[in-house]
Amino acid sequence: MKVFVKFDYPIVCKRILETQLEALNIPYKLNGIGEIELASDLKEEKKKALIEGLAYYGVEIIQDEKDVLVQRIKDLVSEMVYNSNENKAYNTSTLLSKKLNYTYSYLSSVFSEVTYSSIENFVILKKIDYAKDLMASNDRLTLTEIAHRLQYSSVAHLSGQFKKITGLTPSSFQKIMAKRKERT
């Protein structure tokens, strides 16, 4: 028997952090995705235990300032894509600049330097990943509804980017997913 699951990544990440920090009795405050404010500095043994506990889940503590900024950009983009209703009034560059207090050109430069890719490309990849999740889910959303949810100007625009990234049209992808579900 196969069971399909769907994740709410921000909630999963938050629960992992809460579980690990509380297990070690570390006073903290979560400041959004990927940022933890500790009440005080950690002793070396607790820091090591926290690093090991988080590593079990594939979570690591970032030390380099540019890496931290890139991770914050990725987290905000993910939040923007997955919770697009909250940020419809802003475009990506305005939202990132406003939330991170840097010019978009600086953010774009740091992101490209660290990842060898652009913020725009990362946004497209996140949107297509989410579109695949929505198409594979049992919610039965139409392509028009998915395009609207992901703030595409048209179904054609979504379809074009989807094919460019995946090599498949959205309808081909949906047919493949339907056949997979039939087999289970």
Give residue-wise pLDDT tens across range 126-161.
999 999 998 888 778 889 999 988 889 899 999 999
Share of the chain above pLDDT 90, in %: 45
The verdict on 83 and 166 lying in the same domain is yes
- Let me know if residue 20 belongs to a domain: yes
Euclidean distance between CA atoms 154 and 148, whole angstroms: 8
Total number of domains in the chain = 2
The overall pTM is greater than 0.85? no
The per-residue pLDDT for 63 is: 76
Euclidean distance between CA atoms 46 and 41, whole angstroms: 10
- Let me know if residue 98 belongs to a domain: yes
The verdict on 136 and 76 lying in the same domain is yes
- Let me know if residue 60 belongs to a domain: no
Q: What phi and psi values does residue 18 have, to the nearest 5 degrees?
A: -60, -45
pLDDT tens, residue by residue, 11-61: 888 899 999 999 999 998 887 767 888 888 888 898 899 999 999 988 888
- Let me know if residue 2 belongs to a domain: no
User: Running DSSP on this structure, what letter comes out for residue 37?
Assistant: E
pLDDT > 90? residue 112 = yes
The verdict on 147 and 111 lying in the same domain is yes
Domain region containing 77 = 65-183
63 vs 171, residue with greater confidence: 171
The verdict on 145 and 86 lying in the same domain is yes
The verdict on 79 and 160 lying in the same domain is yes
Q: Residues with Cβ < 8 Å from 67, sequence gap 6 or more?
A: 114
The verdict on 16 and 105 lying in the same domain is no
Report H helices in the chain. Answer: 9-23, 44-55, 65-82, 92-100, 104-115, 119-136, 143-149, 155-166, 170-183
**Average pLDDT value over all residues in the chain:** 87
Euclidean distance between CA atoms 128 and 123, whole angstroms: 9
- Let me know if residue 23 belongs to a domain: yes
Q: State the burial class of residue 105 (Cβ atoms within 10 Å of its Cβ: 0-12, 13-18, 19+).
A: exposed
The per-residue pLDDT for 34 is: 73
CB 132 within 8 A of CB 166: yes
- CATH code of 89's domain: 1.10.10.60
The verdict on 114 and 176 lying in the same domain is yes
The per-residue pLDDT for 61 is: 85
Query: Which amino acid makes up residue 16?
Result: I
The per-residue pLDDT for 98 is: 92
The verdict on 106 and 134 lying in the same domain is yes
